[in-house]
Amino acid sequence: MAPHPSGAPAVQVTHETKQTFQGASDDKVTCVASAPPSPSRVLGNCAEAEAGGCRGASRKLRARRGGRSRPKSELALSKQRRNRRKNANDRERNRMHNLNSALDALRGVLPTFPDDAKLTKIETLRFAHNYIWALTQTLRIADHSLYGLEPLVPPCEELGSPDGSSLGDWGSLYSPVSQAGSLSPAASLEEGPGLQAPASPVCLRPGALAFSDFL
DNA sequence: TAGGCCATCTGGTCCT
DNA sequence: AGGACCAGATGGCCTA
């Protein structure tokens, strides 16, 4: 499923590209030079300055402007806009690469999944959300058994621990979110199993988590 | 070929 | 002024 970036024009997103990407593919930028400046920004600055919160500010401002902003040629302005756009593109690219690196790191700490199937971004987020929820439930169950209460849910019947540790902790849990569910951790963690019944129960066991169960 | 996923560009908005 | 963040648009690649 995961599309391979082999043919992608851009650098493959990996952990190492995060640091080295700054300024990469600068010459590749093909921006349109006719991007108008943000009206709000111009307006905001003008309003701020011209509103004249301080007396004599406008005169000072004019003097400053006169000193600094000598009429630039259209060519120079266009060049400046292009340069700003290019820098913004570089930053945006870098920002997205950092975001992807964080997603990769998140994939790295999630339970095993088939090597040939890299989780997509949305799958990673949903997986992580449900996984955290399941771990939270595990802690709750552990707390209950600590105080001598009955287990919240019966353990999965087929569970067997290689080391003989208690597997009741990894009981049958219900994933709070479906594919279209909210990603808000607060929502599910607050409400937990009180949420509407999911499509299918998730049987948990350390080291044997089926990643598809969390999606 | 359609649909999914992704990277990139771009303009707008907010903040420092 | 410039950076960060965001969402929309676009085009490429891959798979069913």
| Chain segment A101-158, per-residue pLDDT in tens | 889 889 888 886 556 578 888 889 998 999 999 999 999 999 888 776 654 443 332 2
Is A202 strand, coil or helix?
Answer: strand
Q: Within 7 Å: CB of A42 and strand B? A: no
Q: Which nucleotides of B are covered by protein (CB under 7 A)?
A: 4-15
For residues A27 and A59, give the distance between their C-alpha atoms in angstroms, rounded to a whole number: 42
| Confidence at residue A133, expressed as pLDDT on a 0 to 100 scale | 93
For residues A43 and A176, give the distance between their C-alpha atoms in angstroms, rounded to a whole number: 47
Q: Within 7 Å: CB of A11 and strand B? A: yes
What are the start-end ranges of the H helices in chain A? Answer: 17-20, 39-50, 57-68, 74-109, 121-146, 185-191, 211-214
CB contact at 8 A, A60 and A49? no
Instruction: Look up tokens 């449900």; give the residue.
Output: A130
**pTM (2 decimals)?**
0.53
Residue A208 in tokens: 């044997």
CB contact at 8 A, A180 and A173? no
Q: Which nucleotide is nearest to A86 (CA to C1')?
A: B9
Q: Within 7 Å: CB of A7 and strand B? A: no
Q: Which nucleotide is nearest to A121 (CA to C1')?
A: B5
| Confidence at residue A172, expressed as pLDDT on a 0 to 100 scale | 30
For residues A171 and A141, give the distance between their C-alpha atoms in angstroms, rounded to a whole number: 8
Rg (CA), chain A: 28
Q: Within 7 Å: CB of A15 and strand B? A: no
